[in-house]
Structure 1
Amino acid sequence: MNLIYVADPMCSWCYGFGVTLDALLTAPGDAAPLQLAIVMGGLRPFTKEPLDPARADEIAGHWRHVAEATGRPFADGPQSALRAPGFVYDTEPASRAVVTVRHLAPRLTWRYLEAVQHAFYAGARDVTQADVLADVAENLGLQRADFARAFASEPMRAATLRDFTQTHEWGIRGFPALLAEHDDHLHLVTHGHVPIDTLRERLAGVATAHGPA
């Protein structure tokens, strides 16, 4: 079964859902072998204004909910990336970085997405910055110069926009979302975080379904 994961590296519930999805990919249970394609949804691309303190407080509250629900680590308080002076919550660069790795080293795409998320949420690193994104790529064994060159290129910018457009055409407005290809149809498996048992049950239902969900 082919799965399509629509996510954003700077979406906290996507970070939380990674626990579930990682468990599924590691031990799919009774499901057929799974192939995962990762598509960038575009949570807040091309944001220009710095995050104001009230909005940062609101987002930090969402992060605490994710931490409680999933056990994922978050840097909190003054250490949070949200509190960095002048921080702009633009998710396009991190999304483009994932698309770049998908182009350069497809088998590392999932690991890179998770590494960017961990750097942002747990490590309080500003993953809107090209050098930080290159650090993460280099830590996974990619050549820094190759990554930086591709990341800055127009083809990667265009490919990222195509991801955002495809997500919009699928009618997906929030993340995470997981789709499954079965019998030449796309099935929406989940729109939002669900536990692993629920996810496996839904995939089993897709495997026995006929026609679009």
Structure 2
Amino acid sequence: MKLVYVFDAYCGWSHGFSATLREVVARHPDVPVEVVSGGLFTGSRRVPIREFGYVQGANAQIAELTGAEFGAGYERLIADGSFVMDSEAAARGVAALREAAPERAAELATAVQEAFYVDGLSLSDPATYRKIAADTGLDAEAVAAAFQSAEAPHTAADDFHRSAGLGVTGFPTLLAVDGDRAVPLARGRASADEIARRIAALS
């Protein structure tokens, strides 16, 4: 069995789930974790953040329910409403980090969300991935090069296809996958204790 975490780096509820994900991974160190980017803001949804009028209210609710931090850097980044959340670029960045350290994919996914939601760094900027890589002991230039490579858009598309193939319709979703069987452990929000009970029930 492995865990498959399907999220979007620009999804506030995924950011809210980060602490739970880290705890689940810590409790189950022998269970491999695959991280898949879902592609929330692509195509016609790749527009200035002001067009999503619900963002601030949703973030307040996420912070209240999960304790997730929305930092001053993030607030500055989105203040004028012109910032564009591009999930394809974010998926390329997640993939570049994942390629550098596959066994740390869950940790790196939460680091990407912290870079945006706490520090206010654009997930379309290669400098963001250089910083995350350097901060987590990875080769910063190799990660930035992978983010900007000709293959990167295909890798992002593969992630979006994988998400759809798993039947995921909302983020975050945590699945237990064993062969062709995929069992949801969490959709949107769940505690580490709830997830642990669901994992135990599978064995």
Using the size of structure 2 for normalisation, the TM-score is 0.88
Cα shift readout 1:147-172 (whole Å, capped 9, x = no counterpart) = 22211112222111011011112221
Q: Is the aligned partner of 1:89 residue 2:81?
A: no
Residue identity over aligned pairs, in percent, reads 30
Corresponding residue for 1:187? 183
The number of aligned residues is 202
CA contact (8 A) 2:32 2:103 kept: no
The reply on whether 1:164 has 2:156 as its aligned counterpart is no
In 1, are the aligned partners of 2:21 and 2:106 still within 8 Å (CA)?
no
Higher alpha-carbon Rg: 1
Match of 2:130 in 1: 134
Kindly indicate whether residue 191 of structure 2 is the aligned counterpart of residue 199 of structure 1.
Answer: no
Q: Distance in 2 between matches of 1:183 and 1:125?
A: 37
Matches within 5 A, 1:28-177: 28=28, 33-46=30-43, 47-52=45-50, 55=52, 57-75=53-71, 79-84=75-80, 86-177=82-173
CA contact (8 A) 2:38 2:171 kept: yes
1-structure distance, mates of 2:180, 2:137: 36
- Letter of the 1:202 counterpart: R
Which ranges of 4 or more aligned residues in structure 1 deviate by more than 6 Å? Answer: none
Please, which runs of 5 or more residues in structure 1 have no aligned partner?
208-213
Deviation of 1:183 after TM superposition, in Å, equals 6.1
8 Å contact from structure 2 (residues 74, 117) kept in 1:
no
The Cα offsets for residues 154-213 of structure 1, whole Å up to 9 and x where unpaired, read as 222211101101111222111111111236522122222111221112112222xxxxxx
Report SS of the residue matched to 1:190: strand
Return closer, same or farther for 1:26/1:149 CA change in 2, 3 Å cut-off: same
Once the 2 structures are TM-superposed, how far is the Cα of residue 77 of structure 1 from its aligned partner? Answer: 9.8
TM-superposition CA deviations, 1:107-163 (whole Å, max 9, x none):
332222111111111112222222222222222222222122211112222111011
Contact 1:41 1:164 in 2 (8 A): yes
* Residues 67 and 100 of structure 1: CA distance in aligned 2, closer, same or farther (over 3 Å): same
Task: Work out whether residues 33 and 103 of structure 2, in 8 Å CA contact, stay in contact via their aligned partners in 1.
Answer: no
User: For the aligned residues, what is the CA RMSD?
Assistant: 2.2
Find the residue that maps to 2:9 and give its secondary structure.
Answer: coil
Task: Say whether the 8 Å CA contact 1:182–1:206 is kept in structure 2.
Answer: no
Q: Which runs of 5+ in 2 are unaligned?
A: none
The change in CA–CA distance for 1:10 and 1:165 in structure 2 (over 3 A counts) is same
Q: Secondary structure at the match of 1:201?
A: helix
The CA distance in 1 between the partners of 2:15 and 2:137, in whole Å, is 22
